[in-house]
Amino acid sequence: MLQATATIRVRYQETDKMGIAYHGNYFTWLEVARIHLLDSIDCPYKKMEKDGYLLPVIHCECIYKSPAKFDDLIDVEVQMPGVGDARLNLIYTLKNQEKLIAKAKTTHAFVDDSGKVVRPPRDFIQKAKAAILRSHSSA
Amino acid sequence: MLQATATIRVRYQETDKMGIAYHGNYFTWLEVARIHLLDSIDCPYKKMEKDGYLLPVIHCECIYKSPAKFDDLIDVEVQMPGVGDARLNLIYTLKNQEKLIAKAKTTHAFVDDSGKVVRPPRDFIQKAKAAILRSHSSA
Amino acid sequence: MLQATATIRVRYQETDKMGIAYHGNYFTWLEVARIHLLDSIDCPYKKMEKDGYLLPVIHCECIYKSPAKFDDLIDVEVQMPGVGDARLNLIYTLKNQEKLIAKAKTTHAFVDDSGKVVRPPRDFIQKAKAAILRSHSSA
Amino acid sequence: MLQATATIRVRYQETDKMGIAYHGNYFTWLEVARIHLLDSIDCPYKKMEKDGYLLPVIHCECIYKSPAKFDDLIDVEVQMPGVGDARLNLIYTLKNQEKLIAKAKTTHAFVDDSGKVVRPPRDFIQKAKAAILRSHSSA
C-alpha cells in the first residue's frame, strides 16, 4: 500500500474563536498530504494538471477525535489502498505525536480539462504500482 | 422536521485554480446555513456560546455532485431530523436553482467551556421542539 | 463618485482564536463589496472575465480600528474615486452600525488572459462614467 | 536588525480561479514568517499568548509584484527594524528564488487579554535586543 506523511503546523489563521482549528481547514491539510504522496511517486500534481488531468474531490469525510490547536505539529498520514480504478480513494490519519486527532477519507475522479471523467493517466498508474511493489519488497 | 435555507453567493476567494469552489469551503457554507437554522428558532449560536455551550463538529461529510462556480447563488438547505439527543445531526442539500450541487452531513457535540460533553441546553430543546410542532400544524 | 455598500455577516470560520475576525479575511469582504459595486453599474465581474479581462490586486492595505466579531453585521462601503485610468483604485470603509471597524484600499490592474496589462474595457468606462453622472444629477 | 525567513509552499486551496494565489492569503504567509521570527528569538507567540499578551494586526499592506502559483516555494523574509516601541513594525519580502513576488508590512499592538494596549513583555524586549546584538557581532 502506498503511504506518505506530511507534517503541518497549525496556523493562527486556521483557528477559530473556539480556540481550535476550524473543522473545514482539515481538508486543506489533507490536500498537503495528498500532494506529498504524489510527489513521493514522482507524479507531482502540478505536472498532472499540465498534462491535462484534474483530480476534483467528489466525496470527503472527516471524524474529529481531539482538537488541533494553534502551533500544533500534526502528522497527516495518507494511504492509497489501491490503484487503477477510475476513482482514487485516499485514507488519512492525523496525529499529534501519539494522540489521534482525526481520521478522514477523500475520493477523487480523474477528469480532463473539459470536466469529462477519464481513465487515470498511464504514467500515474505505472509509478503508483511500481511504488507499491517497492514497498512490499522492502517490507 | 426543522428546516431552513440560506443562500450564499460564491466568492472569488472561495474558488481555486480548477475554476470552481474549493471543496473544503463548502463546510463554511454549511456553517452559514446552520447559524441560520438556529436563528430561525430564536436560539442564535452566538447566544449559546455566551451561555457557555459550544457546538464543535465531530463528524462531517460531503458528496459533490456538480461544481459550484464563482458568483453562483447556492441554496443551502439544512434539516434537523431530531432533537434532544446528546449529539446534533444535520443534513444539508446544496442546490443552484434546480441543479443539485452537493449533499452533506455534520454531527455536533454539545460541550461546555472546558470541552466536556454536556446535555443540550434546555432552552434549545424547547424551542426546537416547539418549532417542529409548529411546522407540523402548519403543514 | 461611484459608491456601493455590501453588508457581510462575520462567519465563525473567519474568526481566529483571538475571538475576532482574522485580519486577512477582511480582504475577502472587500472583494464582496467590489463585486457589488461592479454589479451596481451593470458590469458584473464574472462577465468581465468572460470578455477576457482580469482585475488582479496589485496593492492592498487595511487599517484596523475596532475588531469585527462573529455574527457582526459589517457594512462594507466601497468608493471608486475615478475611472478611465489603467489602474483601478478603490477605497473602503467598514462599519458596524456607526462604529468604524476598518479603512482599506485596493489597487487593481486590468490585464488580459495572458497577464498583459491592458486598457480598461470600454463598456466598463462608459457605464462607470454614466453612473457617476447619474449620481451627480440625483444629488 | 532581526530577520528570519520561512519558506511556504503554495497550497491549491490558496489559489483562485485566476490560477494564482489569492491576494488575501499572502497575509497568512506573513503570519507564518512572523511566528518563525518569534521562535528564532525564543519567544514563541504561543507562549506570549499564554502569558497574557496578544499581538493583533492594526495595519497591513502588500504590494504584489509577480504572481505566486500553486506549488511555488515562496521565501518569506521578515525583518524587525526596531524593538521596544509600543507597536511592532515588521517588513516582509517574498521571493520565488530570485524573483520578487511581493513586499509587505504589518504593524501590531501589544494588548492584554482585555484588549487594552500594553507595553511589550520584558522578556520579548530582552531577547529581541540580545538577538540584534548577536546579529551585529556576527556580521
Assign B99 a pLDDT band (cuts: 50, 70, 90). very high
**pLDDT tens digits, C103-129:** 999 999 999 988 899 999 999 999 999
Residue with the larger pLDDT of the pair A26 and B115:
A26
- CB–CB contacts below 8 A, B to D: 28
Q: Do D32 and A11 touch (CB under 8 A)?
A: yes
What per-residue confidence (pLDDT) applies to B4?
97
**pLDDT tens digits, A21-54:** 999 999 999 999 999 999 999 999 999 999 999 9
For C7-72, the DSSP string reads EEE--GGGB-TTSSB-GGGHHHHHHHHHHHHHHHTT--HHHHHHTTEE--EEEEEEEE-S---TT-
Backbone torsions φ then ψ of D8, nearest 5 degrees: -110, 155
For A2-134, CATH gives 3.10.129.10
Q: Do D46 and A11 touch (CB under 8 A)?
A: no
Q: Is the pLDDT of residue C45 over 70?
A: yes
Q: Is D65 helix (H, G, I), strand (E, B) or coil?
A: coil
Task: For residues B25-39, give the mean pLDDT.
Answer: 98
Q: In Å, how far are C13, C14, C25, D56 from C20, measured between CA atoms?
A: 10, 8, 11, 10
Nearest CB partner across the interface for A24, out of B28, B59, B67: B28
What per-residue confidence (pLDDT) applies to A45?
97
For B2-137, CATH gives 3.10.129.10
Residue type for position B46: K
Residues B15, B23: Cα–Cα separation, whole Å: 9
Predicted ipTM of the assembly: 0.96
Residues B35, D102: Cα–Cα separation, whole Å: 37
Assign A137 a pLDDT band (cuts: 50, 70, 90). confident
Q: Do A16 and C20 touch (CB under 8 A)?
A: no
The DSSP call for residue A50 is H
Which residue from B minimizes the CA distance to D20?
B17
Q: With contact defined as beta carbons under 8 Å apart, do C49 and C111 qualify?
A: no
Convert D46-73 to b/e letters by CB count within 10 Å (16 or more is b): bbbbeeebbbbbbbbbbbbeebbbbbbe
Task: For residues D87-99, give the mean pLDDT.
Answer: 97
Q: With contact defined as beta carbons under 8 Å apart, do A25 and A14 qualify?
A: yes
Which residues in chain B touch residue A26, judged by CB atoms under 8 angstroms apart? Answer: 24
Backbone torsions φ then ψ of A8, nearest 5 degrees: -110, 155
Assign D32 a pLDDT band (cuts: 50, 70, 90). very high
Assign B139 a pLDDT band (cuts: 50, 70, 90). low
Q: Is the pLDDT of residue A96 over 90?
A: yes
Which residue from B minimizes the CA distance to D11?
B16
- Measured torsion, CA atoms of residues D64, C74, D35, D48, in degrees rounded to the nearest 10: 150
Task: For residues B9-17, give the mean pLDDT.
Answer: 98
Assign B113 a pLDDT band (cuts: 50, 70, 90). confident
Segment 34-73 of chain B within 8 Å of chain C by CB: 35, 44-46, 70-71
* Catalytic residue chosen out of the listed positions C16, C85, C112, C113: C16
Q: Tell me how many helices (H) and strands (E) chain B has.
A: 3, 7
Q: Do C60 and D61 touch (CB under 8 A)?
A: yes
* Catalytic residue chosen out of the listed positions D16, D42, D51, D112: D16
Q: Do C58 and D64 touch (CB under 8 A)?
A: yes
Q: Which residues of A are catalytic?
A: 16
In whole numbers, what is the pLDDT of chain D averaged over residues? 95
Q: With contact defined as beta carbons under 8 Å apart, do A4 and A37 qualify?
A: yes
Q: With contact defined as beta carbons under 8 Å apart, do B24 and D13 qualify?
A: yes
Q: Do B17 and D16 touch (CB under 8 A)?
A: yes
Q: Which three cell numbers stand for residue D70?
A: 500553486
Q: Which three cell numbers stand for residue B26?
A: 463548502
Residues B68, B94: Cα–Cα separation, whole Å: 9
Which residue from A minimizes the CA distance to B107?
A63
What per-residue confidence (pLDDT) applies to A86?
83
Q: Is the pLDDT of residue D70 over 90?
A: yes
Count the residues in chain A. Answer: 139
- CB–CB contacts below 8 A, C to D: 54
Chains that touch B (3 or more CB pairs under 8 A): A, C, D
Q: Which three cell numbers stand for residue D32?
A: 507564518
Residue with the larger pLDDT of the pair C84 and D124:
D124
pTM: 0.97
Q: With contact defined as beta carbons under 8 Å apart, do D33 and D92 qualify?
A: yes
**A23 CB-side CA count, 13 A:** 28
Q: Is the pLDDT of residue C139 over 60?
A: no
What per-residue confidence (pLDDT) applies to D138?
67
The reply to whether C22 touches chain A by the CB within 8 Å rule is: yes
B138 vs chain C: nearest CA distance in angstroms?
Answer: 30
In whole numbers, what is the pLDDT of chain A averaged over residues? 95
Q: Is the pLDDT of residue B82 over 60?
A: yes
- Nearest Cα neighbor of B1 from B106, B78, B100 is B78
**pLDDT tens digits, C92-103:** 999 999 999 999
Residues D5, C139: Cα–Cα separation, whole Å: 53
Residues B89, B113: Cα–Cα separation, whole Å: 21
Q: Is the pLDDT of residue A100 over 70?
A: yes
The percent of residues above 90 in pLDDT, for chain A, comes to 86
Convert C54-91 to b/e letters by CB count within 10 Å (16 or more is b): bbbbbbbbbbbeebbbbbbebbbbbbbeebeeeebebe
Q: Is the pLDDT of residue B60 over 80?
A: yes
Residues C108, C86: Cα–Cα separation, whole Å: 9
D83 vs chain B: nearest CA distance in angstroms?
Answer: 35
Backbone torsions φ then ψ of A15, nearest 5 degrees: -85, 165
Which residue from A minimizes the CA distance to C70?
A17
